[in-house]
Amino acid sequence: MGVILNFILKFLPNIFIKGKVIRKIKGFYYVLNENSKNLNEENIYECKLRGTLKVKNSKMNCIIGDYVEFDKKEKVIEKIEKRKNFLYRPLIANIDFIGILFAIKSPNFDFTNFQKMLLNANSQDIPIALILSKIDLFSEEELKEFLNKFRQLFKDTISIFPISTETNIGLAELKQYINKKSVVISGPSGAGKSTLINTLIGEEVLTTNDVSQKTKKGRHTTIESRFFMLAQHSYIIDTPGFSTLDFPKLEEKKELEKLFPEFLKFIPNCKFRDCIHVNEPNCAIKENVKNGNISQERYAFYLYSLENIKFNNSK
């Protein structure tokens, strides 16, 4: 029967289908038909990459999140659409926004790690939102105090979604925000990524793990990036957890200022065009730190980043 089927297929015309790469394993790309309403097996095609699209030893040839056109008959990807953006680690393309998920407690909110993630997202020009989990562990007064502190630090540059999977607070608003988007959910282990995704999807698609009582850090449960479909054209991508996060790779010190959105409108007012806002006179950034338009904590993190990033073209 298989021989007859293969003989018939030779004479059938090639059918080209558009889709989205949702998984990659050892040279095989798993492509979801763009018209699919679910991730059922019949909607996913195991494809190879056409040789002309390969650059030797390049991980960037075709990556998760790419929009592609493939030959249904030969199961070969023939075309890769231009990417609007991508995350380098983990390697994922065409993201509408990153949901940075941090627990408000257990483990406690880590402002340094959060700001490192923020720098990485901003360096690739990807919008972000803070998904603040486990708010049921805080009283209303404690939550209000935390949100006030957060807004003082970051002004109005970040959308915040306070949620609880225990009480379902905030989940409807988050689900509406995700609609018709490709969303990466990332954050430290123990923040509740698996529980959140299971709740949003409505079924147990990921295993969960509690926070280690010894270290107060989450045990890692995600070992690879995985795609889930919330609704048609609404995708959630679960990414591997981390214990620490590297700073973004930058060429020159001057590039760092662009990753602080609250700096941008003040930078043109600096006296010197090459001002990096440390020791230069008549610096608009330092002036606005003094008058409260930029928080002292954010400026301190800027200096910390400037000191710790290994710039490729450092002087």
The verdict on whether residue 36 carries a ligand-binding annotation is no
- Alpha-carbon distance of 274 to 254, in angstroms, equals 7
**Residues 233/37, Cβ–Cβ less than 8 Å:** no
DSSP 8-state symbol, 39 = -
- Residues forming a β-bridge with 186: 100
Q: How far is CA 189 from CA 78, 224, 269, 312, in A?
A: 38, 13, 41, 31
The verdict on whether residue 225 carries a ligand-binding annotation is no
The verdict on whether residue 233 carries a ligand-binding annotation is no
For residue 274, what are its two tokens?
A: 């090459």
The verdict on whether residue 283 carries a ligand-binding annotation is yes
Residue 115: strand, helix, or coil: helix
The verdict on whether residue 103 carries a ligand-binding annotation is no
The verdict on whether residue 234 carries a ligand-binding annotation is no
For residue 179, what are its two tokens?
A: 């609609």
Distance of CA 210 to the CA centre of its chain: 23
CB atoms within 10 A of CB 270: 21
For residue 141, what are its two tokens?
A: 């007064």
- Alpha-carbon distance of 21 to 227, in angstroms, equals 9
The verdict on whether residue 277 carries a ligand-binding annotation is yes
For CA atoms 221, 225, 229, 235, give the dihedral sign.
positive
- Residues forming a β-bridge with 234: 231
The verdict on whether residue 62 carries a ligand-binding annotation is no
Contacts with 234 (C-beta within 8 Å, 6 or more apart), sequence order: 178, 179, 180, 181
State the residue for tokens 């030797």. Answer: 56
**Residues 147/130, Cβ–Cβ less than 8 Å:** no
**Which amino acid is present at 300?**
A
The verdict on whether residue 300 carries a ligand-binding annotation is no
The verdict on whether residue 13 carries a ligand-binding annotation is no
The verdict on whether residue 202 carries a ligand-binding annotation is no
The verdict on whether residue 193 carries a ligand-binding annotation is yes
The verdict on whether residue 270 carries a ligand-binding annotation is yes
- Known binding site for GTP: residues? 133-136, 187-195
- Known binding site: residues? 133-136, 187-195, 270, 275, 277, 283
- Known binding site for Zn(2+): residues? 270, 275, 277, 283
